[in-house]
Amino acid sequence: MTRADLNRLRRVLVGVLIAALALGLSACGSVGSGGGSAGASAASASAGTAALNWSPVTETTTDAALTNLAGYKIYYGTSPGNLNNVVVLASPGATSYLVTNLAPGIWYFGVTAFTNTDVESAMSDIVSQTVD
């Protein structure tokens, strides 16, 4: 296989993973703040936390079962262009995560999926939430 073939395969695999990534914030901020919601039920959160959820990646763009999904990476930071914190969830069945110890301010979050061959998808849409 040529280098061009490998690059084309990588682009196809990355495209396969981006199909189902949709990130939402269940709740964020102080207890009883009513936090934001993006297609998920709102829940109370402690100060400095963000409850994230996403749709699992289960199929390729050709409708074949995705059998080598290894997990998800959550990127977050205080600006959408600088998501410098990363949490790696080595669990393909994961669909939520609670980010803790967030300082007050606006936080931005994105999620990617990755395979057991370290192919990582493009990032989901970036969502933001103000933490009190």
Contact criterion met (CB below 8 Å) for 49 and 28: yes
- pLDDT digit string (tens) for the chain, length 132 residues: 555 544 443 443 444 443 345 566 543 332 222 222 222 222 334 578 998 988 888 776 677 787 888 999 999 999 999 999 999 999 999 999 999 999 999 999 999 888 888 888 878 889 998 888
Which single residue is written with the structure tokens 């931005």?
A: 108
Cα gap 119→114, rounded to integer Å: 5
Q: Supply the pTM of this predicted model.
A: 0.69
- The domains located in the chain, with CATH, are 3-131 (2.60.40.10)
Which single residue is written with the structure tokens 């205080």?
A: 78
Dig out the tokens for 126 from the structure.
């970036």
Cα gap 62→24, rounded to integer Å: 25
